[in-house]
């Protein structure tokens, strides 16, 4: 064989042999003794007789039968019992030799002791199996932790909802009350309008009807409602102008003009008031306009109630899947502010500074809502419902930064390191669980984000949340 000397020089891992077509060994390398423990003469008696009963050897016997006929075989393996009784796995590569007539004269083979390799492979398989089992156990544990966290988020959400429920009920009852009042006003105005229609079209002179129509055209329906301070200012100005014009019952006329949004065109109205009953004309206009105005109030009240109900529905929603989804941070934060409106309107100024190009981010929206709820609720509480809450959202390209700053009492330096610890709270017994900020931190970390804060006692606290877009 061409590489006989090279193979034999490899020592205790390889041996070379050849046998004729009858299976009689013509040659056996001395190195066989280092591998199997049999000397050359013992080995020449036949390797097959040292094969043990095994599934591997059953397959190998079929290969040996084909090899003996000169049919070239691929590398195969067999398990042999050594002289000391141990078992070794030998890998065989055989090659048939032919004479010039093309007749098979012998078979040459290289035997390689792969016992250690097989043991290593077996060890690796066992380790892989163990690793797979550990991985499955770890995945099951992670799934349990995610479920537990989801349940914790929902639990915290329900606790927060319990604190919000009175305010939410008020936010819904207020527009409902406005709707009821507007419906009553519409009914009353329609009744009075119907009563006045006969007078309008039978008793008023042609000139008075023209005045009625001219004033109606001056009504600006797009004007927003006046706040109390503005209303007091305009009432004073309008009343003075009416009195200076020598008109009577200026108090009633002023009230009608303010209601009809005519306070800025009084100078155009005064010349038209030179009629027998100007108060009646203004009152009739008010009754008609009241129907429209109260209809708009109903629309606004319905929109406000719908907004609160939608926010409440979104807040109590529980994510059904474990996959992230695209979500709008601005909408989610605004929804939380809607639910806190009853506390905010007591004396908190909201400043919203959002970049225009804030993209949707891939996240767990339900969990991020809990983040905004915890931080905003803490801020409102820290300010005792009075102060300024500034929410800033910045587009940092691949990341979005949200800052929530309050002008509350601040966090003392000695507890900065403790606020994210589980069950740590500075609130009174029954007011807090101590898992709010710890949960916030875990949610942000779950999103591969960062959470930081700056605080100064007596000046306030700013929480800084940075989240990846994808």
Tens digits of per-residue pLDDT, 7-16?
Answer: 555 556 888 8
For 421-433, letters b (16+ CB in 10 Å) and e give eeebbeeeeeebb
Domain ranges of the chain: 4-113, 168-304, 319-468
Three-state DSSP class for residue 38: coil
Chain Cα centroid distance, residue 48: 67
Rounded Cα–Cα distance for residues 231 and 247 (Å): 21
Per DSSP, helices labelled H in 245-277 are: 250-259, 266-269
Rounded Cα–Cα distance for residues 138 and 361 (Å): 28
Nearest alpha-carbon partner for 298 in 183, 190, 410:
183
Q: What is the token pair recorded at 456? A: 């100064």
Q: Residue 212: its pLDDT value, please?
A: 81
Within 10 A of 19 (CB to CB), how many other CB atoms are there? 21
Q: Tell me which CATH code domain 319-468 carries.
A: 3.30.565.10
Q: What is the token pair recorded at 45? A: 């008696």
Q: What is the pLDDT of residues 277-312, one digit of tens each?
A: 888 888 888 877 776 666 666 666 566 566 666 655
Nearest alpha-carbon partner for 374 in 145, 157, 166:
157
Place of tokens 């309107």: 345
pTM of the model: 0.42
The CATH H-level superfamily of 4-113 is PAS domain (3.30.450.20)
Nearest alpha-carbon partner for 40 in 20, 26, 23:
26
Biggest CA-to-CA distance, the chain: 145
Rounded Cα–Cα distance for residues 339 and 308 (Å): 7
Could you please report the per-residue DSSP string of 93-160?
A: EEEEEE-TTS-EEEEEEEEEE-HHHHHHHHHHHHHHHHHHHHHHHHHHHHHHHHHHHHHHHHHHHHHH
> Could you check whether 4-113 and 319-468 share the same CATH topology?
no
Residues forming beta bridges with residue 361, ordered by sequence position: 327
Contact 419, 434 (CB under 8 A): no
Nearest alpha-carbon partner for 377 in 148, 169, 153, 157:
157
What does each of the 470 residues of the chain score in pLDDT, given as a tens digit? 555 565 555 556 888 888 888 888 888 888 888 889 999 888 888 887 888 888 878 887 777 776 656 566 668 888 889 999 999 998 888 888 888 888 888 888 888 888 888 888 888 888 888 878 877 877 776 666 666 555 555 555 555 555 555 555 555 555 555 566 656 666 565 556 555 665 666 667 788 888 888 888 888 877 777 777 888 888 898 888 888 888 888 889 888 888 888 888 888 888 888 888 888 888 888 877 776 666 666 666 566 566 666 655 555 555 545 678 888 888 888 878 877 777 787 888 989 999 988 899 888 887 888 888 888 888 888 888 889 999 999 999 889 999 999 999 888 888 887 777 765 565 554 444 445 677 788 888 888 899 898 988 989 999 999 999 88
Rounded Cα–Cα distance for residues 146 and 323 (Å): 12
């Amino acid at each position: 064989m061409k590489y006989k000397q090279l193979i034999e020089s490899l020592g205790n891992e390889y041996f070379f042999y050849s046998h004729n077509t009858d299976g009689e060994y013509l040659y056996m390398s001395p190195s066989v003794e280092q591998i199997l423990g049999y000397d050359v003469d013992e080995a020449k008696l036949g390797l097959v007789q040292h094969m043990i009963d095994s599934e591997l050897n059953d397959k190998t016997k079929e290969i040996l039968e084909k090899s003996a006929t000169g049919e070239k075989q691929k590398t195969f393996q067999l398990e042999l019992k050594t002289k000391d009784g141990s078992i070794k796995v030998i890998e065989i590569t055989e090659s048939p030799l032919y004479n010039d007539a093309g007749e098979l004269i012998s078979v040459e083979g290289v035997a390689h002791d792969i016992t250690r390799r097989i043991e290593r492979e077996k060890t690796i398989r066992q380790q892989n199996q163990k690793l797979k089992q550990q991985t499955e156990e770890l995945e099951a544990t992670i799934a349990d932790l995610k479920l537990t966290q989801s349940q914790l988020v929902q639990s915290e959400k329900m606790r927060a909802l319990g604190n919000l429920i009175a305010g939410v009920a008020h936010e819904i009852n207020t527009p409902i009350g406005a709707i009821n009042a507007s419906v009553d006003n519409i009914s009353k105005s329609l009744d009075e309008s119907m009563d006045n229609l006969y007078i309008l079209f039978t008793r008023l002179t042609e000139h008075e009807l023209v005045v009625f129509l001219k004033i109606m055209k001056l009504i600006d329906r797009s004007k927003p409602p006046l706040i109390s301070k503005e209303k007091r200012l305009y009432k004073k100005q309008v009343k003075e102008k009416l009195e200076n014009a020598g008109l009577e019952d200026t108090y009633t006329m002023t009230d009608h003009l303010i209601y009809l949004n005519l306070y800025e065109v009084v100078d155009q109205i005064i010349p038209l008031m030179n009629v027998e009953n100007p108060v009646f004309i203004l009152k009739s206009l008010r009754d008609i306009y009241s129907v429209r105005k109260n209809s708009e109030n109903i629309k606004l009240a319905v929109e406000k109630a719908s907004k609160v109900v939608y926010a409440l529905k979104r807040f109590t929603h529980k994510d059904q899947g474990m996959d992230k989804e695209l979500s709008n941070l601005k909408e989610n934060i605004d929804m939380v502010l809607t639910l806190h409106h009853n506390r905010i309107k007591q004396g908190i100024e909201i400043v919203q500074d959002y970049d225009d190009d804030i993209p949707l981010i891939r996240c767990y929206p339900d969990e991020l809502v809990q983040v905004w709820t915890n931080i905003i609720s803490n801020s409102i509480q820290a300010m005792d419902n009075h102060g300024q809450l500034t929410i800033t959202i910045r587009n940092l390209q691949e990341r979005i930064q949200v800052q929530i700053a309050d002008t509350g009492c601040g966090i003392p330096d000695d507890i900065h390191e403790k606020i994210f610890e589980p069950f740590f709270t500075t609130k009174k017994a029954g007011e807090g669980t101590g898992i709010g900020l710890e949960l916030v931190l875990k949610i942000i970390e779950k999103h591969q984000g960062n959470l930081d804060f700056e605080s100064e006692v007596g000046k306030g606290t700013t929480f800084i949340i940075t989240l990846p877009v994808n």
